[in-house]
Amino acid sequence: MKDGENEHGNAQSPSVPNVTTRTEFDFIDQLRQRATLQAHSSQTIQLLKLGIGDDAAVVHSSAVKDTVIATDLLIEGIDFRRNTAPANLLGHKALAVSLSDIAAMGARPRWSLISLGVPDDVWQSSFANDFYEGLFHLAGQYDVQLIGGDTSRTPEQIVIDSIVIGECPIDRAIERSGAQPGDQIFVTGALGGAAGGLRLIERGAHLADQNFSANETQALDHLLLRHLQPEPRIGWGMVLGQERLANSMIDISDGLSSDLNHICLESRVGALIHSSLLPIDVQVVELCGRRALDPLQLALHGGEDFELLFTVRPDAVAKLPRRVDGVGITHIGEIRDGSEGVKISEGTRVWELQPGGWKHF
Instruction: Give me the residues that bind Mg ion (CB under 5 A), please.
Output: 55, 101, 251, 253
Based on the shown chain and the rule CB under 6 A, indicate whether residue 304 belongs to the binding site for ligand ADP: no
Alpha carbon distances (Å) from 59 to 48, 110, 149, 165, 340: 5, 15, 21, 11, 34
Question: Contacting ligand ADP (CB under 6 A), which of 54, 175, 304, 305?
Answer: 54
Cβ-based nearer residue to Mg ion, 105 or 284: 105
Minimum CB–partner distance for residue 134 and ligand ADP (Å): 20
d(CA 198, CA 203): 9
d(CA 177, CA 262): 9
Question: Contacting ligand ADP (CB under 6 A), which of 66, 76, 79, 101?
Answer: 101
Query: Which residues contact residue 32 at a Cβ distance below 8 angstroms, ignoring those fewer than 6 apart?
Result: 51, 52, 53
Cα angle: 24, vertex 55, 232; to 5 degrees? 115
Cβ-based nearer residue to ligand ADP, 54 or 231: 54
Cβ-based nearer residue to ligand ADP, 24 or 294: 24
d(CA 324, CA 271): 26
Minimum CB–partner distance for residue 253 and Mg ion (Å): 5
Minimum CB–partner distance for residue 250 and Mg ion (Å): 6
Cβ-based nearer residue to ligand ADP, 31 or 75: 31
Are the C-beta atoms of 299 and 273 separated by less than 8 Å?
A: no
Minimum CB–partner distance for residue 55 and ligand ADP (Å): 4
Other C-beta atoms lying within 10 Å of the C-beta of residue 115: 17
Instruction: Pick what 283 binds: Mg ion, ligand ADP, none; C-beta below 5 to 8 Å, kind-dependent.
Output: none
**Residues of this chain, 242-261, that bind ligand ADP according to CB under 6 A:** 253
Based on the shown chain and the rule CB under 6 A, indicate whether residue 355 belongs to the binding site for ligand ADP: no
Instruction: Pick what 305 binds: ligand ADP, Mg ion, none; C-beta below 5 to 8 Å, kind-dependent.
Output: none
Q: Tell me the window of 52-60, 137-145, 238-246, 288-296 that interacts with ligand ADP (CB under 6 A).
A: 52-60
Helix axes 87-103, 127-141, angle to 10 degrees: 30
Cβ-based nearer residue to ligand ADP, 88 or 253: 253
Cβ-based nearer residue to ligand ADP, 104 or 332: 104
Cβ-based nearer residue to ligand ADP, 48 or 52: 52
d(CA 202, CA 215): 21
Are the C-beta atoms of 247 and 178 separated by less than 8 Å?
A: yes
Based on the shown chain and the rule CB under 6 A, indicate whether residue 53 belongs to the binding site for ligand ADP: yes
d(CA 351, CA 344): 6
d(CA 339, CA 311): 18
Cβ-based nearer residue to Mg ion, 103 or 224: 103
The dihedral formed by the CA atoms of 186, 257, 326 and 322, expressed in degrees to the nearest 10: -10
Instruction: Pick what 28 binds: ligand ADP, Mg ion, none; C-beta below 5 to 8 Å, kind-dependent.
Output: ligand ADP
Based on the shown chain and the rule CB under 6 A, indicate whether residue 72 belongs to the binding site for ligand ADP: yes
Cβ-based nearer residue to Mg ion, 253 or 258: 253
Minimum CB–partner distance for residue 234 and ligand ADP (Å): 15
Instruction: Pick what 350 binds: Mg ion, ligand ADP, none; C-beta below 5 to 8 Å, kind-dependent.
Output: none
| Longest CA span, the chain | 65
Are the C-beta atoms of 114 and 152 separated by less than 8 Å?
A: no
Instruction: Pick what 134 binds: Mg ion, ligand ADP, none; C-beta below 5 to 8 Å, kind-dependent.
Output: none
d(CA 219, CA 208): 10
The residues of the shown chain that bind ligand ADP, judged by CB under 6 A, are 28, 31, 52-55, 72, 101, 253
